[in-house]
Amino acid sequence: MLASPLMMGGATAAGTSIPNMKNALTASATGALVEKAGWRRCGRWSRRCHWRWGWGWRYRRCMRRHAC
């Protein structure tokens, strides 16, 4: 497999460099397995689903239906 400049961390074909992401809050930086994406939206759905269905299987179904 040939290594592209993007994989090696070099410049792109247009001659611009890749931004330095050392201080970015990512899953690898925090040691988490997944990134927390859409927390506000899923937090609202969590409260709404819990109010409607409690903490049982219907809560989990509600959360899955809303992609959380």
pLDDT tens series, the chain, 68 aa = 455 555 555 555 555 555 555 545 555 556 666 655 667 889 999 999 999 999 999 999 999 999 98
CB 66 within 8 A of CB 49: yes
Tell me whether residue 67 is in a domain: yes
Amino acid at 21: M
pTM, entire model: 0.44
Whole-number pLDDT of residue 37: 62
Asked, for residue 21, whether it belongs to a domain, the answer is: no
Whether 9 and 23 have beta carbons less than 8 Å apart is answered as: no
Number of residues in the chain: 68
The residue range of the domain holding 63 is: 37-68
In a domain, 13, yes or no: no
Structural domains of the chain, count: 1
Q: What are the start-end ranges of the H helices in the chain?
A: 5-8, 27-30, 39-53, 57-65
